[in-house]
Amino acid sequence: MNQDLSIFSLVLHASAVVQLVMAGLLITSLASWTVIFGKLFGLRKVRAENEVFERDFWAGKNLNDLYDDATKRSTSSAPMERIFASGMREFMKLRERRVTDSGALLDGARRAMRASFQREMDTIESNLSFLASVGSVSPYVGLFGTVWGIMHAFIGLANLTQVTLATVAPGIAEALVATAIGLFAAIPAVIAYNRFARDIDRLAIQMETFIEEFSNILQRNLGQPMAQPSTGSSASSMAGGR
Q: Residue-wise pLDDT tens for the chain (242 aa)?
A: 445 556 666 666 667 888 888 889 999 999 999 999 999 999 999 999 999 999 988 887 788 888 888 888 766 778 999 999 999 999 888 888 877 777 888 899 999 999 999 999 999 999 999 999 999 999 999 998 888 888 877 776 666 666 565 666 666 777 788 888 899 999 999 999 999 999 999 999 999 999 999 998 888 877 555 443 333 333 333 444 55
pLDDT digits (tens, 9 = 90+) for 150-177: 887 777 666 666 656 566 666 677 778 8
Is residue 61 included in any domain, yes or no?
Answer: yes
Is residue 121 included in any domain, yes or no?
Answer: yes
Q: What distance lies between CA 186 and its chain's CA centroid?
A: 17
Is residue 181 included in any domain, yes or no?
Answer: yes
* Percent with pLDDT over 90 in the chain: 41
Q: 98 lies in which domain range? A: 7-228
Is residue 165 included in any domain, yes or no?
Answer: yes
* Residue 203 and residue 50 in contact, taking contact as beta carbons nearer than 8 Å: yes
Query: What would the DSSP string read from start to end of the chain?
Result: ------HHHHHHHS-HHHHHHHHHHHHHHHHHHHHHHHHHHHHHHHHHHHHHHHHHHHTT--HHHHHHHHHHTTTTS-HHHHHHHHHHHHHHHHHHTT---HHHHHHHHHHHHHHHHHHHHHHHTTTHHHHHHHHHHHHHHHHHHHHHHHHHHHHHHTT-SS--HHHHHHHHHHHHHHHHHHHHHHHHHHHHHHHHHHHHHHHHHHHHHHHHHHHHHHHHTTTS----GGGT-S--TTTT--
Is residue 201 included in any domain, yes or no?
Answer: yes
Is residue 83 included in any domain, yes or no?
Answer: yes
Is residue 234 included in any domain, yes or no?
Answer: no
Q: How many domains in the chain? A: 1
Is residue 60 included in any domain, yes or no?
Answer: yes
